[in-house]
C-alpha cells in the first residue's frame, strides 16, 4: 500500500504546540525543523491531527476539481452518500440531497446504507457458515490500517469483506455499466481506501468539500426528512449501528461494539493475549463512530446525543431490498504494511534521556507536553529521528532557568527584583555583598525599604519611566552606585541594577584633592611672583600687568586639569 497522501501540512502555520502528536493514537507525526510532518506509512488516517490543530495547519486534499472533470465526461456520475449526512445537514433528507446534487451535474444520488445492507448480510453469512473464532468488522478503513500496520497478528480476524462504500459503488457499477461513482462522507480515510483499491470508487468528497461546492454554485438544500421503513442500515454511522442491523443469532458468539482508537487498541491487545474468543467485534476509529468523523467533528462539533437521535429517527426498521452478490465478489484482501523503525538499544535510550536531563526515574515527569505519553517514548522517538530534544518543555524551562541563573549569579552588577508591592522577589550575590546581606532568605518577601530607599522604585512604578545610570550614594553602606530601575509590564516586576562605582568615586575624589592642592600651590607662587615682579618690573622694562596675565593663564590651566 502506498503512503497516504490525502492529508497535507501547511508548514508556515505550525506553531510548535505538539497538539497533533499528543492526540495522534499511533504517534505517526515527526517533528523537525520546527515543523510537524505526517509519517505516511505509519498514519492510520483517523484525522485527529486535522481535528485538533489550532492553526488549521493540517489540510485534507480536495478532490472537487477531480469530480468536476468526471462530470464533464460522457458517463453518468452517481453519488454514494454516507448515512451520516442527516447529522451533518440538519433536517435534510435524501430527496433534498438528490435534488441539490443533480443541480451540480450528478446523474443520481443513492445512500451508502444500501451497501451497508450488503455488507451486513455477508457478516451474518460468515458467522453462520464459516468456522471463525473472532471476527472484526472491516467497514472502518482507519481500523483496517491500524491492524495492517500495528497488529498484523489480527489480520486473520479482520473480516475479509469490502466496506459499505465499496459494496455500494460496486453495486452501482453493476446496475449502471460505465458509470462513475463518487462517495461523499465525513471521513479522511475513505480517500485513501478509494485510491488504493482502484476501479471501485472513482473519487471521494468530504461533507466540507460538498458544502463549499454548493455554496459556490449558490445551491441551497431544501428542508424535509421523508421516511422510509426499508432503511435500517442508516444506523451504520453510529456506535453499535452495525450490530443494530444484524440478527445477532449466530450460535455461541458474543457481539461487542467499540469506538475510539484507544479502545480498539486495548481490545486488540486482549485478543493478542488470548483473552477474547468466539466474538464479533464492531470497531470504529472515531468516538461515536462515523457521526463523530473528523470532518463533522471539525466543523459540526459536537453533538453526539443529538446526532444519534437524528440518525435513529431517520432509520427505518427493515432492510433495503438488495441483490446480494456472491461471497467471492465481496472478498477483500488485507496485507501487512511494514512501517516500524528500528528500536533503539537501551544504551541509546539512556543517552538521550541524559541529554534531556533525565538522570533517574524521578526526573521523568511524563508530563506529556511534548505529545508523547512518557519521557521514555519521547527518547525512543528522538533516537528514531521523529522528535527533537527541544520538544521537552521541562528541559527547555530548566535550561533557560539555568542559563539565566548563571548570568544572574556571575554578573558583577547587583540585581534586585521587586513586585508591584515593592517586596523583594529575587536578589543576587553581588547585591547582597553591596548591602552586607548574609542570605537571600533574610530579605525575600520583605519590603525594599528594609535595605534601600524605595523612592526610585516607587517613582518608576508610578510614572512608568525607567531610570537609567543614575549615580547615588548609599550612605548606610558607604557605597556609590550607578543605579538603573526598570519596570517590566508583562511580568509586573521592577528590576533594580546597581553597578558599584565606589572605587571610581574614590579615585575621582583623590584627583580632585590633588587638583585643589595644586591650585593652592599655584596661588602662592603667583602671589610671590607678583611681589617679585613689582620689585623688578622697572628694571626689566616690563609692565606688571603682562606678567600677571601670564601667571593667571598658568593657574587656569592647572584648574582645568
Looking at the fold, whether 294 and 443 belong to one and the same domain comes out as no
On whether both 418 and 272 belong to a single domain, the answer is no
Pairing of strands 424-427, 414-418: antiparallel
Q: Are residues 42 and 27 part of one domain?
A: yes
**Last residue of one domain, picked from the residues 46, 61, 76:** 61
Same domain, 54 and 70: no
Same domain, 143 and 17: no
Asked whether residue 525 is domain-assigned, the answer is yes
Residue ranges for the chain with pLDDT beneath 50 = 1-3, 297-298, 300
- Give residue 381's domain range: 343-400
Say if 95 falls within a structural domain. Answer: yes
Is the domain of 206 the same as that of 290? yes
CB atoms within 10 A of CB 188: 28
From CA 561, how far away is CA 557, in angstroms rounded? Answer: 7
Among all chains, which residue has been given the C-alpha cell 497538539?
Answer: 19
Q: How many helices (H) and strands (E) does the chain have?
A: 21, 16
Radius of gyration of the chain (CA): 41
Q: Do 359 and 373 belong together in one domain?
A: yes
pLDDT at 298: 46
pLDDT at 56: 80
Looking at the DSSP bridge assignments, the partners of residue 498 are 414, 483
Structurally, the chain folds into a number of domains equal to: 5
Q: What is the number of alpha carbons within 13 Å of residue 202 lying toward its C-beta?
A: 22
Residue at 338 is within a domain: no
The string of DSSP codes covering 227-276 is --SS-GGGGTTSTTHHHHHS----TT-EEEEEESHHHHHHHHHHHHTT--
Burial class for 218, CB neighbours closer than 10 Å (0-12, 13-18, 19+)? exposed
What's the pLDDT at 3? 45
pLDDT of residue 554: 60
Query: Same domain for 23 and 46?
Result: yes
User: Quick one: pLDDT at residue 515?
Assistant: 78
Q: Are 292 and 218 in the same domain? A: yes
Of 355, 373, 400, which marks where a domain is finished?
400
User: Are the CB atoms for 114 and 322 separated by under 8 Å?
Assistant: yes
Residues 368, 481 within the same domain: no
* Contact call for residues 243 and 28 (beta carbons, < 8 A): no
- Cα angle 419, 395, 345 (rounded to 5 degrees) comes to 170
Q: Indicate the residue among 308, 330, 352 that finishes a domain.
A: 330
Instruction: Let me know whether 390 and 263 are in one domain.
Output: no
Angstrom distance (rounded) from CA 318 to CA 12:
51
Say what the pTM is.
0.72
Residue carrying the nine cell digits 522528535: 387
Q: According to the model, what pLDDT value does residue 386 have?
A: 84
Amino acid at each position: 500500500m502506498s503512503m497516504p497522501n490525502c492529508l497535507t501540512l501547511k508548514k508556515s502555520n505550525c506553531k510548535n504546540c505538539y497538539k497533533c502528536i499528543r492526540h495522534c493514537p499511533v504517534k505517526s507525526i515527526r517533528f523537525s525543523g520546527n515543523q510537524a510532518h505526517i509519517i505516511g506509512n505509519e498514519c492510520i488516517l483517523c484525522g485527529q491531527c486535522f481535528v485538533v490543530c489550532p492553526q488549521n495547519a493540517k489540510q485534507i486534499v480536495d478532490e472537487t476539481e477531480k469530480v468536476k472533470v468526471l462530470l464533464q465526461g460522457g458517463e453518468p456520475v452517481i453519488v454514494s452518500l454516507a448515512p451520516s449526512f442527516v447529522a451533518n445537514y440538519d433536517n435534510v433528507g435524501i430527496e433534498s440531497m438528490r435534488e441539490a446534487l443533480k443541480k451540480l451535474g450528478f446523474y443520481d444520488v443513492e445512500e451508502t446504507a444500501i451497501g451497508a445492507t450488503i455488507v451486513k448480510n455477508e457478516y451474518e453469512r460468515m458467522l453462520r457458515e464459516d468456522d471463525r473464532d473472532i471476527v472484526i468488522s472491516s467497514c472502518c478503513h482507519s481500523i483496517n490500517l491500524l491492524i495492517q500496520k500495528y497488529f498484523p497478528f489480527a489480520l486473520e480476524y479482520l473480516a475479509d469483506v469490502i466496506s459499505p462504500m465499496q459494496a455500494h459503488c460496486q453495486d452501482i457499477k453493476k446496475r449502471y455499466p460505465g458509470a462513475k461513482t463518487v462517495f461523499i462522507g465525513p471521513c479522511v480515510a475513505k480517500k485513501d481506501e478509494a485510491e488504493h483499491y482502484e476501479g471501485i470508487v472513482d473519487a471521494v468528497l468530504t461533507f466540507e468539500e460538498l458544502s463549499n461546492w454548493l455554496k459556490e454554485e449558490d445551491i441551497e438544500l431544501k428542508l424535509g426528512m421523508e421516511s422510509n421503513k426499508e432503511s435500517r442500515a442508516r444506523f451504520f454511522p453510529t456506535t453499535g449501528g452495525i450490530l443494530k442491523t444484524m440478527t445477532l443469532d449466530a450460535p455461541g458468539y458474543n457481539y461487542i461494539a467499540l469506538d475510539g482508537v484507544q479502545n480498539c487498541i486495548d481490545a486488540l491487545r486482549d485478543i493478542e493475549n488470548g483473552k477474547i474468543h468466539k466474538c464479533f467485534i464492531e470497531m470504529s476509529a472515531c468516538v461515536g463512530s462515523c457521526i463523530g468523523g473528523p470532518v463533522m467533528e471539525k466543523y459540526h462539533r459536537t453533538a453526539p446525543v443529538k446526532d444519534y437521535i437524528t440518525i435513529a429517527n431517520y432509520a427505518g426498521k427493515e432492510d433495503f431490498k438488495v441483490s446480494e452478490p456472491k461471497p467471492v465478489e465481496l472478498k477483500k484482501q488485507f496485507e501487512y504494511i511494514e512501517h516500524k523503525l528500528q528500536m533503539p538499544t537501551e544504551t541509546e535510550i539512556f543517552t538521550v534521556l541524559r541529554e534531556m536531563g533525565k538522570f533517574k526515574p524521578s526526573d521523568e515527569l511524563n508530563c506529556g507536553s511534548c505529545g508523547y505519553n512518557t519521557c521514555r517514548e519521547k527518547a525512543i522517538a528522538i533516537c528514531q529521528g521523529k522528535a527533537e530534544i527541544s520538544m521537552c518543555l521541562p528541559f527547555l524551562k530548566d535550561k533557560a532557568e539555568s542559563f539565566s541563573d548563571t548570568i544572574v549569579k556571575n554578573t558583577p552588577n547587583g540585581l534586585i527584583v521587586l513586585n508591584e508591592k515593592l517586596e523583594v522577589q529575587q536578589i543576587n550575590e553581588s547585591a547582597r555583598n553591596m548591602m552586607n546581606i548574609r542570605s537571600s532568605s533574610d530579605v525575600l518577601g520583605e519590603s525594599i525599604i528594609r535595605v534601600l530607599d524605595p523612592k526610585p522604585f516607587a517613582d518608576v512604578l508610578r510614572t512608568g519611566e525607567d531610570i537609567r545610570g543614575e549615580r547615588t550614594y548609599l550612605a548606610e553602606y558607604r557605597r556609590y552606585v550607578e543605579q538603573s530601575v526598570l519596570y517590566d509590564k508583562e511580568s509586573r516586576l521592577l528590576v533594580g541594577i546597581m553597578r558599584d562605582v565606589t572605587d571610581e568615586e574614590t579615585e575621582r575624589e583623590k584627583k580632585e584633592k590633588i587638583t585643589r592642592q595644586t591650585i593652592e600651590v599655584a596661588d602662592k607662587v603667583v602671589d610671590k611672583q607678583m611681589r617679585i615682579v613689582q620689585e623688578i618690573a622697572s628694571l626689566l622694562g616690563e609692565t606688571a600687568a603682562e606678567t600677571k596675565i601670564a601667571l593667571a593663564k598658568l593657574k587656569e590651566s592647572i584648574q582645568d586639569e
